[in-house]
Amino acid sequence: MSTREKNRLSAVKGLQYSLKEFMAEWDTLKRNVDLFLRNPDSGEDSGMKVKMSSYRLSILSAEILAFSGRIKKP
């Protein structure tokens, strides 16, 4: 297997992992938003949890774009 093929395979695996993480974090964000909207004065800092999930999603989005760029390179 050539170096190019190894790099591409590595990028595919990274992309798959990042997509799984993205979906899990998306579900977490939805739960936190629901909690926040149901009872914003619950005593939990659900607003901060929403911000943290949003931040993680932005990082994962950047990773996904980077991996997809590596896969598409000739």
CA dihedral 15, 20, 23, 28 (to 10 degrees): -130
Q: pLDDT in tens for each of the 74 residues of the chain?
A: 888 888 889 989 999 999 999 999 999 999 888 888 887 776 667 778 888 999 999 999 999 999 988 887 66
CA distance 9 to 38: 44
Q: Alpha-carbon Rg of the chain, whole angstroms?
A: 17
* Cβ within 8 Å of residue 22, ≥6 positions away: 57, 60, 61, 64
- pTM (whole model) above 0.85: no
